[in-house]
Amino acid sequence: MTSPSCFEPLVKANTFASLPSDFYTRLPTTPLTAPRLVHASAEVAAVLGLPTEALDTQEFLDVVSGTKPMPGGDTMAAVYSGHQFGVWAGQLGDGRAHLLGEIQGPDGSFEVQLKGAGMTPYSRMGDGRAVLRSSVREYLASHAMRGLGIPTTQALSLVSARNPVRRETLETAAVVARVAPSFIRFGSFEHWAARRRPDLLRVLADYVIDRFYPECRDESHSSTAADTRISDDTSTVGDISTTGDTTTAKDYEPYVQLLRAVVRRTATLMASWQVVGFCHGVMNTDNMSILGVTLDYGPYGFMDGFDAKHICNHTDSGGRYAWHAQPAVAHWNLYQLANSLHEIVPETEPLKAALDEYEACFLGAMQARMSQKLGLSTWQAGDETLIDDLWSLMQASHADFTLTFRQLAYAPGLTQASQEQIERDLGGTVNANLLPFVDLFVDRAGAQAWLSRYSARLCSDPTQHWQERVAGMLAVNPLYVLRNHIAQQAIEAAEKGDFSEVERQYELLRDPFQARAGLEAYAAAPPAGAPHLEVSCSS
Ligand code: AMP
Ligand code: MG
């Protein structure tokens, strides 16, 4: 007798499959040789409604390794296009991703996707595989982001196999199972705009609105401006000022509202990235989620020493995706999305107006987050300068991004309490081996002078008691981020078959705000003289 399937009761009809077959290709995954489970996330399983016991079953390993299809599922790869490094790249698509099906979890439905489970019609020159190194990085990064409360695709499991995979050197294959309500990208829209298929573009936009942005049908705004082309970028989809389409103003309004909603979510996402020093590395339009979640972890990096021009991706020699450029790049990407929607929105002004909301939304989100990071309960005149001056000091000293904000809560002179008292009262025993705030700066005098100004500013903060302020700061300024040299330890151990370091980092990153005794090394900057790790698009 076969044991009951843990997936089958949860799997529902794959909603993405209700789209016309132009959007995807049905095909099976290609099994790996002797797959082994490196890690599975009980937390993400719970999001899907999968019991923890299911993670130890053969059925689970079979499904998340791509050995067998998900019972009740419908395996397929999706097509999309995109701009890569600012250049129109034409058709891309799920070259090594398979959508297995959709699961109805307790709080919503999620698509389950495998990355690295074999070739698809969209693989182009690729082999359809992912290596263990990059899969460990994707797995841990998505948990790090989840722990930080940043919207992201979520990794359910990581599987390793013996199959050799050729990159710069010979490596071994791995598969990450990841979940999200949808994996639709800006590039999914660009695809149909470039092909001059307003019919399919409208089907896609309606699908996204109905499933994820139903409020876009409620709001009504007038759209009156003359029809002029919104992009001066002729590399995209040509002049689409006359679509020959019969859409009426009433019909297209939801698409304008969709753009507005995506603009807002993307702006907020950028602020969340910026304030933890996260660099995505490959912000191509095909890696931008229409839901505003972090998508496709490749050569990303959490900054160690602060440098606004930090480039995490070795392949990005021009610094297009440097930390300071990310918010503007997201706006550029949204511009491409707007340009695509122009195929079904005959007027440009409403699209422009939606795009114009980006800056205020981003700045508002930054201001809210920076005040929290500094423990300011109000926003006062002079705060912007105070914060800008902190960035400048950090830049001049390449002060550690994460520790600067974390250690600010403990800086002496800001409260009557000693550091020991703060640690005792607010939990955690971590600081002993980490540099205090001022010592993070080469310009210690400058840092001290800034602290005096900050201290004076705190005196004018109306209501807060210091304990409330410090507790608030420790709840938003992480102690642990997935630094490259830390992830590298997990990779090297995993490549030797030791998965305990993946487990340790997973546990740490689940709650990156909580200090753990004995794990100071995970919070520290890379040791001086440590080899520089180069991370590239090779994955
Ligand atoms: P990425 O830079 O990882 O976002 O990938 C860009 C495009 O290349 C997407 O269409 C991917 O599916 C595809 N791709 C990347 N690596 C591979 C691979 N090893 N095999 C097949 N397709 C790939
Ligand atoms: Mg991608």
**pLDDT tens by residue, 344-360:** 999 999 999 999 999 99
Q: Please name the residue whose Cα sits nearest to atom 6 of ligand 1.
A: 92
In which band, very low, low, confident or very high, does the pLDDT at 413 lie, cut at 50, 70 and 90? confident
Mutate to test the pocket of ligand 1, among 80, 94, 123, 284 (most ligand atoms within 8 A of CB): 123
Q: % helix / strand / coil in the chain, to the nearest 5? A: 45, 15, 40
- Distance from Cα 95 to the centre of ligand 1, integer Å: 5
Local confidence band at 234 (pLDDT 50, 70, 90 cut-offs): very low
Residues with CB under 5 A from ligand 2 (ion): 287, 296
Give every CB contact of residue 237 below 8 A, 6+ residues apart in sequence. 190, 193, 194, 196, 339, 340, 343
* Cα–Cα nearest to 536, from 160, 155, 167, 84: 167
Give the integer Cα–Cα distance in Å for 380 and 131. 49
Tell me: pLDDT of 19 over 90. yes
Q: Is the pLDDT of residue 478 over 70?
A: yes
Span 156-168, average pLDDT: 97
Helices then strands, each counted (H, E), the chain: 15, 13
Here the tokens at position 163 are 């199959």
Top-confidence residue, 52 or 460: 52
361, two tokens: 């939304």
- pTM score, whole prediction: 0.93
* Pocket residue to mutate for ligand 1, from 30, 87, 92, most atoms within 8 A of Cβ: 92
- Alpha-carbon dihedral of residues 88, 295, 472, 427, nearest 10 degrees? -140
Query: Tokens 């103003």 map to which residue?
Result: 249
| Spacing, Cα 386 to ligand 2 middle (Å) | 38
DSSP character at residue 225: -
- The answer to whether residue 422 scores a pLDDT higher than 80 is no
Instruction: Give the ligand whose atoms come closest to the C-alpha of residue 115.
Output: 1
**Residue-wise pLDDT tens digits, 282-337:** 999 999 999 999 999 999 999 999 999 999 999 999 999 999 999 999 999 999 99
Residue with CA nearest ligand 1 atom 11: 95
Which three-class secondary structure state does DSSP give residue 260?
Answer: helix
Angle among Cα 75, 79, 80 to the nearest 5 degrees reads 140
Judged by average pLDDT, the poorest of 73-82, 108-117, 431-440, 498-507 is 431-440
Q: What is the pLDDT of residues 99-108, one digit of tens each?
A: 999 999 999 9
> Per residue in 383-410, pLDDT tens?
999 999 999 999 999 999 999 999 999 8
Least confident of 418-427, 442-451, 514-523: 418-427
- Catalytic site residue from 107, 206, 251, 286: 286
User: What value does the mean pLDDT of the chain take?
Assistant: 92
324-350 confidence digits (pLDDT tens)? 999 999 999 999 999 999 999 999 999
Percent of the chain with pLDDT over 90: 82
Environment class of 224 (CB within 10 Å of its CB; exposed 0-12, middle 13-18, buried 19+): exposed
Would the CB of 310 count as within 6 Å of ligand 1? no
pLDDT at 399: 98
Mean pLDDT of 163-189: 98
Q: What pLDDT, on a 0 to 100 scale, did the predictor assign at position 110? A: 98
What count of residues does the chain have?
539
Task: Measure Cα distances from 479 to 41, 294, 474, 525 in Å.
Answer: 22, 21, 8, 11
Assess whether the C-beta atom of 137 lies below 6 angstroms from ligand 1.
Answer: no
Residue 442 CA to ligand 1 center (angstroms) comes to 42
